[in-house]
Amino acid sequence: MEGVHKSFGNLKVFSGLDLKIEKGEFVFIIGQSGIGKTTLLKMIYMEEFPDRGTVRIFGETPRPSKIGELRQKMGVIFQDFKLLDYRTIYDNVYMPLGYTGVPPEMARRRVEEALKFVRLWERRSELPDRLSGGEKQRVSIARAIARQPAMLIADEPTGNLDPETSLEILDYLRKLNEQGMTVVVATHDYELIKNHPSAVVYRITNGRIQQIDRVP
């Protein structure tokens, strides 16, 4: 992102924001609630667009005809999980692959691999309401990585979880990063950052973003 400006009505969120995320990095984005972390992530996965400035995703400036293709390279995890309560764990991971045209046999293989990675394959036939918050977030991770994305984006992925479960979720994200996946996490949980000292950390303040070396 170069020189990005973003406003909502009279509220200026970003003014001249510059950010570069390198392939294979693990990046934390921190800042107070309402400061613009979610807006920044939405501009990365192209749900929001800047008023001015340039955004490049995987080296490309998103055009309407390319957005779908670029999104296929991303997986997104949300704080509130966004699971379908009336569908099984398996279906929650499988259905997005069907919508994007992945052949059924390949989709089934990816779902199995993803659910085994988060240690929920044996519970694939259960509904989400049988799961704890941490288990629901693990399903969200499986759903995101079944797409085999180059980048994983997580918006407050531990916001509804207890500290021990939060660190467990961080461990999954760290393992994915070690396998070569770029991971970007917006969070206000500084304990996560302290438990991943090798990550790159950016802080948003007053519409600007700055890399920091030490968690405040």
Site of tokens 């997580």: 154
CA distances from 33 to 15, 92, 93, 166, 193 (A): 18, 29, 30, 18, 17
Q: pLDDT digit string (tens) for 72-122?
A: 999 999 989 999 999 999 999 999 998 888 999 999 999 999 999 999 999
Whether residue 214 has pLDDT greater than 80 = no
Interatomic CA distance for residues 145 and 181, integer angstroms: 10
What number of other Cβ atoms are within 10 A of residue 135's Cβ? Answer: 19
What number of other Cβ atoms are within 10 A of residue 111's Cβ? Answer: 24
Mean pLDDT, rounded, for 14-40: 92
Q: How much is the pTM?
A: 0.93
Q: pLDDT digit string (tens) for 125-183?
A: 999 999 999 999 999 999 999 999 999 999 999 988 999 999 999 999 999 999 999 99
pLDDT at 199: 95
Asked if residues 156 and 187 have their Cβ atoms less than 8 Å apart, the reply is: yes
Whether residue 123 has pLDDT greater than 80 = yes
Whether residue 9 has pLDDT greater than 80 = no
Domains of the chain: 1-73+149-216 (3.40.50.300), 85-148 (no CATH)
pLDDT at 216: 64
- Six token digits for residue 88: 């099984």
Mean pLDDT, rounded, for 21-43: 92
Which backbone phi and psi does 94 adopt, to 5 degrees?
-75, -40
Relative to beta strand 182-186, strand 151-155 is: parallel
